[in-house]
């Protein structure tokens, strides 16, 4: 019984098919976000027109204030660094099927712990020792908060959305109290400056960046993105994490401890969010300040969403949202800041709505093409 029936059209096996699939994959990865952005731009035009300004001029102003000069660019990079970390944090959760709304407090906890370490370390600790220790401290701080919803979900079945929202209140209030009651510099809401571990600012190296908060911790973002990609797609734990996110029953069947993955994914997610605190604490102000990155944790959800949970997409999305955020300040004089916030929300909605829609249209056009 060796006769084989060839029931597969030959084209499906050839190299042609590989190329077509590659093209199809690229189209599906790139076209939807581009369309989403265009949709958002059109709606943005209408919004700007509504407040009585010419859209072209406002966009020009926005670009000049962000990518058009070194200071603006520095601010964009600074904001994008924190957003990249919170975006990666949310994405790791989503890949495991978990919705981490707690990046906000994990980020704060990471920043707080790294500031504490900086106060404990003696002045003059070499940077080569202090900075890695600082990174570890930030990761541990974020992970300590992050692991809680993971454990509670694995052990007690508590829904992670509720737990992370509640933890945001608890952790932020607790940190506020500790700083206000015990650690603040008089008349302020921030801790004293760290003794060691400061990361050089961009302005220290290139004077054009003078005044901007950008610092070398931005170099950590491609490293972190590459690390997350490698972990998700190249390691056994990443394979198991994604399987749990896609089909928990199949993962369980495949010998994966689903609760274990939840716990580890939340710890990793928290650690990434916590690392985002390094940017402000070691890179910019050198102290922990209450509410130092307020909103960046929540914005991480948007970044992960627009970046489609892919590390590369997240870096791009972080730059996009950082540009919008900084650009909002640049056009503040002509367009109310609230309008920029509306525009950010429009970008998110455009992605959420148009990505599946564009993919559907792509598939349909391909079907007729093939006919």
Partner 1 sequence: MSDDIAVETSGVTAPADAAVVMHGIDVSFGPVRANRGARLEVRAGEVHALVGENGAGKSTLMRVLSGLIRPEGGRVRVFGRDVTGWNTAEAIAAGVGMVHQHFMLVPTLTVAENLVLGREFRRGPMLDRARADRAVRELAEETGLHVPAGARVRELSVGEAQRVEILKTLFRGARVLVLDEPTAVLSPSEVDELWRVLRRVRDGGGTIILITHKLDEVMAISDVVTVMRHGATVARHRTAETTPAELAREMVGRDVVLAGDVAAPAPGPAPATVASPASASPALEVHDLTVSSARRAVAVDRVSFTVAAGEILGIAGVEGNGQTELVEAIAGLRAVRGGSIALGGTPITDLTVRARGERGLSHIPEDRHRRGLVLDYTVADNLVLGLQDRFARAGVLDRDRIEHNAREKIEAFDIRPGNPGLPARNLSGGNQQKVVVAREMGRAYSVLLAAQPTRGVDVGAIEFIHRRLRAARDAGKAVLLVSADLAEIFALADRIAVFYEGRIAALLPRARADKETVGRYMTGAAREDVA
| 246 makes contact with partner 1 (CB under 8 A) | yes
How far apart (Å, rounded) are the C-alpha atoms in residues 353 and 282?
Answer: 39
Of residues 213 and 261, the one with the C-beta less far from partner 1:
261
User: What are the residues facing 289 on neighbouring strands?
Assistant: 190
Residues 326, 79 contacting (CB under 8 angstroms): yes
Q: Where does residue 213 rank: exposed (0-12), middle (13-18), buried (19+ CB within 10 A)? A: buried
Site for partner 1 in 50-109 (CB under 8 A): none
Q: What minimum distance in Å lies between the beta carbon of 155 and partner 1?
A: 16
Residues 281, 78 contacting (CB under 8 angstroms): no
Distances (CA, A) of 223 to 204, 270, 311, 367: 22, 17, 10, 40
Q: What minimum distance in Å lies between the beta carbon of 26 and partner 1?
A: 15
Pick the piece of the chain touching partner 1 (CB under 8 A) from 5-13, 81-89, 190-198, 283-291: 5-13
User: Considering only residues 170, 204, 235, 294, which one is a binding residue for partner 1 as defined by CB under 8 A?
Assistant: 235
| 28 makes contact with partner 1 (CB under 8 A) | no
User: Considering only residues 186, 187, 236, 333, which one is a binding residue for partner 1 as defined by CB under 8 A?
Assistant: 236
How far apart (Å, rounded) are the C-alpha atoms in residues 354 and 24?
Answer: 18
How far apart (Å, rounded) are the C-alpha atoms in residues 294 and 105?
Answer: 9
Q: What minimum distance in Å lies between the beta carbon of 13 and partner 1?
A: 7
User: Which backbone phi and psi does 185 adopt, to 5 degrees?
Assistant: -80, 135
Binding mask 179-218 for partner 1 (x = CB under 8 A): ----------------------------------------
| Token code pair at residue 353 | 């709505």
Binding mask 312-351 for partner 1 (x = CB under 8 A): ----------------------------------------
Q: Where does residue 14 rank: exposed (0-12), middle (13-18), buried (19+ CB within 10 A)? A: exposed
Upper half-sphere CA count for residue 109 (Cβ side, 13 Å):
31
Site for partner 1 in 252-281 (CB under 8 A): 252-257
User: Considering only residues 59, 119, 195, 237, which one is a binding residue for partner 1 as defined by CB under 8 A?
Assistant: 237
Q: What minimum distance in Å lies between the beta carbon of 243 and partner 1?
A: 5
Pick the piece of the chain touching partner 1 (CB under 8 A) from 126-134, 145-153, 237-245, 292-300: 237-245
* Positive or negative: CA dihedral 15, 20, 25, 31: positive
Nearest to 274 by CA among 92, 72, 76, 74: 92
Reported residue count of the chain is: 371
| 7 makes contact with partner 1 (CB under 8 A) | yes
User: Considering only residues 4, 15, 156, 223, which one is a binding residue for partner 1 as defined by CB under 8 A?
Assistant: 4
| 29 makes contact with partner 1 (CB under 8 A) | no
How far apart (Å, rounded) are the C-alpha atoms in residues 207 and 248?
Answer: 52
| 26 makes contact with partner 1 (CB under 8 A) | no
Q: What minimum distance in Å lies between the beta carbon of 363 and partner 1?
A: 8
Pick the piece of the chain touching partner 1 (CB under 8 A) from 6-14, 94-102, 114-122, 322-330: 6-14
Pick the piece of the chain touching partner 1 (CB under 8 A) from 42-50, 160-168, 236-244, 297-305: 236-244
- 70-104 burial, b for 16+ CB within 10 Å, e for fewer? bbbbbbbbbbbbbbbbbbbbbbbbbbbbbebbbbb
Site for partner 1 in 351-370 (CB under 8 A): 366-367, 370
Nearest to 288 by CA among 168, 150, 108: 108
User: Considering only residues 30, 180, 250, 345, which one is a binding residue for partner 1 as defined by CB under 8 A?
Assistant: 250
User: Considering only residues 148, 251, 306, 346, which one is a binding residue for partner 1 as defined by CB under 8 A?
Assistant: 251
Binding stretches for partner 1 (CB under 8 A): 1, 3-5, 7-9, 11-13, 17, 20, 234-237, 239-240, 242-243, 246-247, 249-257, 366-367, 370-371
């Amino acid at each position: 019984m060796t006769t084989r029936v060839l029931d597969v059209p030959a084209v499906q096996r050839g190299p042609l098919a590989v190329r077509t699939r590659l093209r199809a994959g690229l189209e599906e990865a790139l076209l939807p976000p581009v369309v989403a952005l265009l949709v958002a731009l059109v709606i943005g035009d209408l919004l700007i027109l509504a407040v009585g300004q010419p859209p072209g001029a406002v966009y020009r102003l926005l670009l000049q204030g962000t990518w058009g000069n070194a200071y603006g660019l520095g601010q964009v990079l600074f904001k994008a660094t924190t957003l990249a970390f919170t975006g990666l944090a949310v994405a790791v959760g989503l890949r495991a099927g978990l919705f981490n709304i707690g990046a906000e407090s994990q980020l704060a906890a990471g920043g707080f712990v790294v500031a504490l370490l900086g106060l404990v370390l003696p002045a003059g600790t070499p940077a080569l020792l202090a900075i890695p220790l600082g990174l570890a401290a930030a990761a541990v701080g974020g992970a300590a908060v992050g692991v809680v919803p993971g454990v509670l979900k694995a052990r007690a079945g508590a829904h992670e959305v509720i737990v992370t929202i509640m933890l945001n209140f608890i952790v932020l209030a607790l940190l506020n109290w500790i700083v206000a009651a015990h650690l603040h510099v008089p008349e302020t809401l921030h801790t004293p400056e760290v003794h060691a571990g400061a990361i050089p600012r961009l302005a220290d190296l290139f004077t054009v960046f003078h005044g901007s908060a950008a610092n070398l911790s931005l170099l950590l973002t491609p490293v972190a993105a590459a690390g997350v990609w490698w972990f998700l797609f190249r390691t056994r734990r990443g394979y198991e994490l994604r399987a749990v996110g896609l089909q928990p029953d199949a993962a369980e069947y495949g010998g994966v401890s689903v609760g274990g993955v939840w716990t580890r994914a939340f710890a990793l997610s928290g650690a990434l969010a916590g690392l985002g605190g390094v940017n402000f604490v070691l890179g910019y102000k050198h102290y922990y300040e209450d509410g130092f990155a307020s909103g960046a944790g929540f914005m991480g959800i948007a970044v992960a969403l627009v970046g489609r949970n892919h590390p590369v997409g997240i870096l791009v999305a972080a730059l996009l949202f950082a540009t919008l955020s900084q650009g909002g300040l640049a056009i503040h004089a002509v367009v109310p800041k609230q309008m920029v916030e509306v525009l950010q929300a429009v970008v998110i909605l455009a992605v959420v709505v148009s990505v599946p829609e564009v993919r559907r249209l792509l598939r349909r056009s391909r079907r007729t093409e093939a006919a």
